[in-house]
Amino acid sequence: MDHKTCHDVLKRIQAKHEWQNNSKKDHKMIEDKVIKELMTKQFVKSKSKKYHKHQLMVSQQKKREKEKKCY
């Protein structure tokens, strides 16, 4: 994910949270929460990609084994 995309996602997530107090402490706490949420989403996405690649590899291997049995 490039920097601009990360920034856009961060802004969208921040928009979900209510900014009731203008104190720097509250902003920092919310920003930390948003960053953690973004990192979690990226982690899940990367794990999902790895899982799907693995599933594709397994299905291709099974297909090759089946073809070998036919010959």
In a domain, 11, yes or no: no
In a domain, 56, yes or no: yes
The C-alpha atoms of residue 58 and residue 52 are separated, in whole angstroms, by: 10
State how many domains the chain has.
Answer: 1
Lowest mean pLDDT across 12-16, 26-30, 41-45, 60-64: 12-16
In a domain, 52, yes or no: yes
Give the global pTM. 0.48
pLDDT at 68: 82
In a domain, 2, yes or no: no
In a domain, 50, yes or no: yes
The C-alpha atoms of residue 12 and residue 32 are separated, in whole angstroms, by: 15
